[in-house]
Chains A and B, each alone.
Chain A
Amino acid sequence: MKHQEYEYVIVGSGVAGSTIAERLLQHNRATSILILEAGPEVKAKDRRFWWDYVVNASGDNSKAYDFTCDQPGEAKVSGNQTFEVAGSRVMLYGGSTVHWGGWCLRYKPEDFKLHYNTGLGGDWPFDYEDLFPYYEMAEHHLQVCGDVGESWNQEMRPGVPYPRPPYWWTEADGEMIQAWEKNGIEPGKMPVARYRKCMTTGTCKYCPIGARFSSQLILDELRSDERNINLEIVSSTPVTQILVDSKSRITGVEYLDSTTGDARHVYGRTVIVCSGAYESPKLLMLSKSNYWKNGIGNDHDLVGRFLVSHSILKVQGILDHNRENWFQEYDFPTLMSRTYDTPQYQKSNKIFLFKNRALPNIDFAQLMIQGKSRGEIDAIRKASRVQELQSFMEETGEFNNRVMLARGKNRFGLPKMEIRFDRSKDAQKNAENWLTIMSKVVDDMGYRITKRVVDPPGGHHATGTCRMGATEKDGVTDKDMRVHGTDNLYVCSNAAFPSGAAVNPTLTLTAMAYRLADHLIKKA
C-alpha cells in the first residue's frame, strides 16, 4: 500500500465499491481511497477468452473467470430447501457484474413498506421518494434501456425517460404476448444495462467489446485517470477483520498480503464494506474484540439473519411444430411484465414475469458436431419448439434463514460459510398458485406443458443479511447503511436491504451507493 492511512478503505470492488469510489473522486480527485479485493484480476474484452467461451458454448465451465465462482459443495447448506450457492457470485476485480445479466429494474414504492403493508419481512427506514433521484443517477451510470410508456412507470418515473431506448420484442415473443393479453397481463420491455453499443454477440457473460455494464470497466477507467492520484485498487487481497480502538470507532482493516500471505493492517478514517450479501455479514461476524464480543454490529444476533432469496418459477411447454422457424434472437431478455408486481399481490409473494431469454433455440453447431446432415437438422428445427414462462417470486426475510461462519477457509483465505434456509409453507403454497396462473398462459399459447417447477432458492439476488433498521434491535445498519453503534463503518450491499422485492437488486444497490457517497461527502 502506498499510504499508512486512507480517507476511505473499501472492501470489495463490485458495483457497490466502484460506484462509491467514482462518486467520491468526482467530488474531489485528491480523495485517498484504497479498494481491497479478495479475488484476482481477470482480463476483460480479451479475444482469446471470448473465443474459448464461444467455441465451448455447450460446456458450462468455459468462462475465463469460472474458477472464481463458488464450486458445488463449497458452502454447507441446510434447511427444507437446497440453497444454491454455486455460480451465484464471482469473486474477482469488478465483482459479480462481470457475470450478471444486466437486468435493471427499480423496486416499487410498496417494496419499501413490506412489513407495514403485510406484516411480513422488513421495512426500509425511508421511502421510494428518498431514493428517486439516486435511481436516476444509477440508470445513467449503468446506461439502462427501457420503455417509459408502460403503465407501472407512470407511478415510478412520471415523465422520466430511460437513458437508452428499449430493445423491442422479438418475433418469438409475439405468441406469448398474445397469451398474456388474453390473461390481462401487460407486456413490457426488459430494462437492461447496455453500457456501450451492443453488437448482440449473445455472449453477455463475457462481452468481447465491453458493451454490457461491468464494474471492471469503471475500475479500469478510474485507475487510468491520472487525476485520481490517491486511488489504489489491490486485487487478491482478502480482508480478514475490521479493526477498532473503541466500541464506536473503526480504525482500519486486517488483510492477507497477496505475495507473502502474512496478515497486515491498513488504516482508514471510514471503512465501507462492499463485499456482497455473504461476505459482508461474515466480515462483521469475524471482527470480534473486547468491544464487540459477537462481532461488530452483532450485539443483538442479527448479523447474517433474514437471508432473502428469489424463488424462480418456471413453466415450460412444447409445440409440435416450428413452421415459423422461430428462435430467440438475442441471448438476453426482451419481454417482461410487472402486472403481478403490485401492492395487491404483496401479501401472496408477488411475482415479476418474463420469458425465458434463450428459448426457443436449437444448438445447430452441436448437431453438426454429432454428424447430422443438413437435411436431418432442417427436419429437427421444424419439428417442434419449446417456450418457457418464468418469474421471480418475492420471498420475505425470516429470522432463522441465515448465513453463518463455518470451519475452514476457502481458496481466498476467507472462512467457509454455512447457509440455513427454509422456504415457508405460505411461500410454497403461493408459488403453486402462481404456477397455475403461469400454466394457463402457456396453455393458451397452444403448448403442451412439459415442466412446472419452483427452482431451489439461490444466492444470485441474496439480500437482507445486514439489513437496515431504525434501531439496533431492528437491523444491523441504519438508514445510511452505517453499522449501528459505530461512527464510521458502513455496509453498502444488497445485504442492507430489508426486503428483496420481486425484481433484480443491482439498480437499487447502485442507487444506494450514490446515496451513501453523497452522505459521506456531506459528512466530510
Chain B
Amino acid sequence: MSGAADSNDHIGGEFCRAAIAPGLLSSAGQHLTPYERNGLWRIFQAIGRAWDDLHPSATDSSNLKSTWLDFIEAKTNFEPSYIAEYSNAVLCVDELIEIYGESNAFSLLFFRSGLPQQSNPAAPPMTRLAHAKKFVIDEFIRVNVVASGFKSFGREEHQNGVNYNGYLGGSRYNLKARVRDYKPSEAETPK
C-alpha cells in the first residue's frame, strides 16, 4: 500500500500528496459538474456513517440533503467560490478509494490521515489532500453536526431533541420538544 497512514507522511497517492499553495484555489469561470456534486454528497454521507450520528429513523443522511444543498449553493454561487476546492476534494477521494477501497479510504481520511492539521488545526494546508480536509471535510463535518448530528450526542437513545449551543436546532429537526425545560418542583418554587 503506497502512502501508508502510519508513515510520517500523509495518506494518498501522487495527486493527494501534490504540493499546492495554502490559499483557497481560484474557481474563476468554473462550474460544478453533476459527477462532482455526487462525489461531494458521497463524502457527506460517509461522515454520518463514520460517526454514527444519523437521525434515528434514517439509514443514511438523506434527511439532511436539503440543508446540505443550501450550503453547497451558498458556497458555489457566491464569492469566494469553493468550486475548485470541491473539484479537488472529489479527485482526492477518488484516488484514496482507488488505493484503499471505499470503506478504508474514508476511515483513514477521517481518523488516521497523517495530515498535520489533525493535531494542529491552524497548520496551513500545503497539499491537495490537506486542502480537501480543510475546505471540504472539516466544513462538511460542521454542516453534519449543525443540521442534526448534534442530537445523537445528547440524551441516550435519542430520547429528546437537544439544541446545542451554536447549532441550528430549529423545531423542524427535532423529534420531540425543542428544549428540555427545567420546571421547579413545588419545594423549589420561590415563595
A, B: real partners? yes
Cα-based distance from A200 to B52 in the complex (angstroms): 24
| Bound CA–CA A169/B170 (angstroms) | 17
Contact residues of A between 138 and 173, Cβ < 8 Å to B: 151, 168-173
Chain B residues with Cβ under 8 A from A177's Cβ? 182, 184, 188
A370 touches B181 (CB 8 A): no
Please give, as numbers and ranges, the residues of chain B lying within 8 Å of A329 by CB-CB distance: 162-165, 169, 179-180
B118 touches A371 (CB 8 A): yes
Q: Which residue of A lies closest to B117 (CB)?
A: A369
Q: Mark A162-191, 1 if CB is under 8 A from B, else 0.
A: 000000111111100110010000110000
A200 CA to B173 CA, complexed, in Å: 11
Residues of A within 8 A of B156 (CB): 325
Interface string of A54-71 (1 = CB under 8 A from B): 110110000000000000
Is A169 touching B166 in the complex (CB atoms < 8 A)? no
User: Do A51 and B75 touch (CB < 8 A)?
Assistant: yes
Inter-chain contact B180/A364, CB cutoff 8 Å: no
Cβ of B179 and Cβ of A330 under 8 Å apart? Answer: yes
Q: How far is the CA of A119 from the CA of B141 in the complex (A)?
A: 57
Which of A32-40, A97-105, A373-381, A474-482 sits within the interface? A373-381
Residues of B149-191 at the interface with A, using a CB-CB cut-off of 8 Å, are: 149-150, 153-156, 162-171, 178-184, 188, 190
* Interface presence of B121 (CB below 8 A): yes
- Chain A residues, CB < 8 A from B169: 200-202, 329
**Contacting residues of chain B (36-83) with chain A, CB-CB under 8 angstroms:** 47, 50-53, 70-71, 73-75, 77-78
Inter-chain contact B165/A327, CB cutoff 8 Å = yes
From B73, B75, B164, contact of A364 by CB (8 A)? B164
Interchain CB contact under 8 A, A364 and B150:
yes
Interface size class of B (residues with CB under 8 A): 35 or more
Task: Give the complex CA separation of A210 and B167 in angstroms.
Answer: 16
Q: Are A55 and B139 in contact (CB under 8 A)?
A: yes
Question: With a CB–CB cut-off of 8 A, which chain B residues contact A201?
Answer: 167-170
Minimum CB–CB distance for B163 against chain A, Å: 4
Contact of A202 among B52, B144, B163 (CB under 8 A): B163
Known contacts A168-B179, A365-B145; is A51 also within 8 Å of B74 by CB? Answer: yes
The answer to whether A365 and B118 touch across the interface, beta carbons within 8 angstroms, is: no
Which single residue of chain A is at the shortest CB-CB distance from B113?
Answer: A371
Q: Are A169 and B181 in contact (CB under 8 A)?
A: yes
A187-B190, A364-B149, A371-B110 in contact; A51/B71 too (CB < 8 A)? yes
A47-B74, A51-B71, A57-B142 as given contacts; A325 in contact with B154, CB under 8 Å: yes
Instruction: Tell me whether A48 is interfacial, beta carbon within 8 Å.
Output: yes
- Interface presence of A199 (CB below 8 A): yes
Taking CB as reference atom, which chain A residue is nearest B77? Answer: A48
Chain B min CB distance to A121 (Å): 31
With A and B bound together, what is the CA distance between A202 and B167 in angstroms?
5
A184 to B167, CA, bound (A): 34
- A199–B75 Cα distance when bound, in Å, is 23
> Given A51, A170, A368, which contacts B51 in the complex, CB threshold below 8 Å?
A368
Nearest CB on A from B173, distance (A): 10
Please tell me if the beta carbons of A369 and B121 are within 8 angstroms of each other in the complex.
yes
Are B52 and A374 touching (Cβ within 8 A)? Answer: yes
Knowing A170-B181, A174-B182, A369-B141 touch, does A364 contact B113 (C-beta < 8 A)?
no
> What's the nearest-Cβ distance from chain A to residue B112, in Å?
7
B180 touches A54 (CB 8 A): no
B91 interface residue per 8 A CB criterion: no
User: Roughly how many angstroms separate A199 CA and B146 CA in the complex, as a whole number?
Assistant: 13
Q: Decide: A370 and B121 in contact? CB cutoff 8 A.
A: yes
B35 located at the interface, meaning its Cβ lies under 8 Å from any Cβ of chain A in the complex: no
Q: Are B112 and A173 in contact (CB under 8 A)?
A: no
Q: How far is the CB of B26 from chain A (nearest CB, A)?
A: 18
Residues of A contacting B51 with CB < 8 Å? 368, 373-374, 377
Question: Which residue among A50, A151, A362, A364 has the maximum number of chain B CB atoms within 10 Å of its CB?
Answer: A364
| Cβ A47 vs Cβ B70 within 8 A | yes
Bound Cα distance A365, B118 (Å): 13
Residue of B nearest to A361 (CB): B165
Contact, CB under 8 Å: B168 / A202? yes
Q: A327–B181 contact, CB under 8 A?
A: no
A186 close to B190 (CB less than 8 A): yes
Residues of B contacting A181 with CB < 8 Å? Answer: 188, 190
What residues of chain A lie closer than 8 Å to B75, measured between beta carbons?
48, 51
What 10 A-B pairs come out closest when comparing CB atoms?
A: A174-B182, A199-B170, A171-B180, A48-B78, A365-B145, A48-B74, A55-B139, A169-B182, A331-B165, A55-B142
Interface set of B (CB-CB < 8 Å, partner A): 47, 50-53, 70-71, 73-75, 77-78, 110-113, 118-119, 121, 137-139, 141-146, 149-150, 153-156, 162-171, 178-184, 188, 190
Beyond A168-B182, A364-B150, A371-B111, 7 additional pairs, beta carbon < 8 A: A55-B138, A170-B179, A170-B180, A181-B188, A203-B168, A368-B51, A370-B119
A-B contact pairs, 12 of them (CB 8 A): A54-B143, A54-B168, A55-B142, A170-B181, A171-B181, A173-B182, A200-B171, A329-B179, A330-B165, A371-B111, A378-B153, A381-B153
